[in-house]
Amino acid sequence: MTDVVVAGAAGRMGSRIVACLGEARELRLVAALEAPSHPALGRDAGETAGVGRLGVALASDAAAALVRDRVLIEFSTPEASLQHLRLAAASGARAVIGTTGFTPKQREEISDLAKKAAIVLAPNFSVGVTVALQALALMAQALGDEYDVEISEIHHRFKKDAPSGTALRMAEVIAAALGRDLGTVAVYGRQGLPGERTKKEIGIFSLRSGDVVGEHTVSFGTLGERLELVHKAHNRDTFARGALRAARFVTTQPPGLYSMQDVLGF
């Protein structure tokens, strides 16, 4: 049995991870973390998640929770995730991180911490999205420069970062398959008279509306036809179950930085 620590356990994703842990084999919730000022501190994590009492109270002492061989699962903020990863690496714990919005410098630090701890880092823990990323690389290679690439994503009004980490990862995969530098060819908005679309640009556009869990559309268009790949998440449980799958995977891995492609064996 693997002991799991959920950080951000009262949040939208954290509460679903707590709920789905009740169905998970070989995994058990032993600690649930929230910010020191969170109003739910002291409440039972299961009651907060709407699944009944679990006997694990929401707490803020991450150092006490993140001990050797436990697995941290976190979807929160870059700053909080980094703080917890430092503790995990120092104590011998492992981690599954779905937080997005890390800066390049923060991602460098995560790579350094992965020399001491096994860390699965992914912008999206959906199995379907992971398969889509594999398909996008094949599609881009086959279609080549004659097809325009446009990516759009829509999420709920509360999402803080844009574009989504998933949209950025899709763009990275496509750019690599086409031999392009994403930093040079990415276009994040068009207004006024920007002129004709350049041949190698990759458009990435964000919409925020209501309670949309997450939708991503990648369009490959040329004169005469358009091919689209669409992924729609109907609820957050698909991400929670993917994170739990990653937690099982990471328990058997040596220190290193892993992705959902590694979890699925791609």
H helices then E strands: how many in the chain?
10, 12
Whether residue 38 lies in the annotated active site: no
Token representation of residue 55: 């006997």
Q: Which of 38, 116, 159, 200 is catalytic?
A: 159
State how beta strands 186-187 and 225-233 pair.
unpaired
Alpha carbon 138 to its chain centroid, in Å, reads 22
Q: Which residues contact residue 192 at a Cβ distance below 8 angstroms, ignoring those fewer than 6 apart?
A: none
Residues 182 and 171 sit within 8 Å (Cβ to Cβ) = yes
Catalytic residue among 38, 115, 116, 155: 155
Tell me which H or E stretch contains 188.
Answer: none
Cβ atoms of 88 and 95 within 8 Å: the answer is yes
How many C-beta atoms surround the C-beta of residue 217 within 10 A? 17
**Helical packing angle, 127-143 and 237-250, nearest 10°:** 90
* Cα dihedral value 16, 135, 250, 91, nearest 10: -80
Give the residue from 32, 22, 25 showing the smallest Cα distance to 2. 25
Residues linked to residue 63 through DSSP beta bridges, in sequence order: none
71, 24 contact by CB (below 8 A): no
Let me know if 231 is a catalytic residue.
no
The angle at the Cα of 213, spanning 210 to 214, to the nearest 5 degrees, equals 110
| Active-site annotation, residues | 155, 159
